Amino acid sequence: MVPFMMLLAAQAAPAACTSEAHDAFDFWVGDWSVSVASSRQTVAKSRIEKLYNGCAVRENWMPANGNEGGSLNSLGSDGRWHQRWVGSSGETVDFTGGLNDKGEMVLTGWWAGYAGPGNDRLVRMTYTKRDDGSVRQHGEISTDHGTSWSTGFDFVYSPAEAE
């Protein structure tokens, strides 16, 4: 009976997320030292892992100021990438998007309280793999529902072993 149960469990295992589309965010996977792009001042550590049979990419954001958080990213059945950010103050933000024609991951979402209570913003994040192995995360904000954008944050994720 035990071999039958093992066979049944093996047959019930979900298929791995092995498509090229599921690998689109793999360039962000790794252990990183995160700095502000303009000053190169280190502000955080971040661990990005591919999990759950290749179906998700998870970030563990560990900033020097202690306001940690994280995101869970996955390719949805709609063919778009979805990210749920959860911060240490209980805030959550849902982003959606995908690769643009330059191979950058672009995710956009409505961030309630981005600039404090009652100061909501549309946030667009563009993740770009750079030639030196780092990844740029450029966050832009809009107060007019996407008509115009300005930089809200600009980070460079450098491999942690490069320090």
Amino acid at 1: M
**Tens digits of per-residue pLDDT, 33-92?**
999 999 999 999 999 999 999 999 999 999 998 889 999 999 999 999 999 999 998 899
pTM over 0.95: no
CATH of domain 2-162: 2.40.128.20
Determine the pLDDT at residue 4. 55
Share of the chain above pLDDT 70, in %: 90
Q: How far is CA 106 from CA 24, 39, 70, in A?
A: 11, 24, 17
- Kind of pairing between the strands at 56-63 and 69-75: antiparallel
- The CA distance from 30 to 162, in Å, is 12
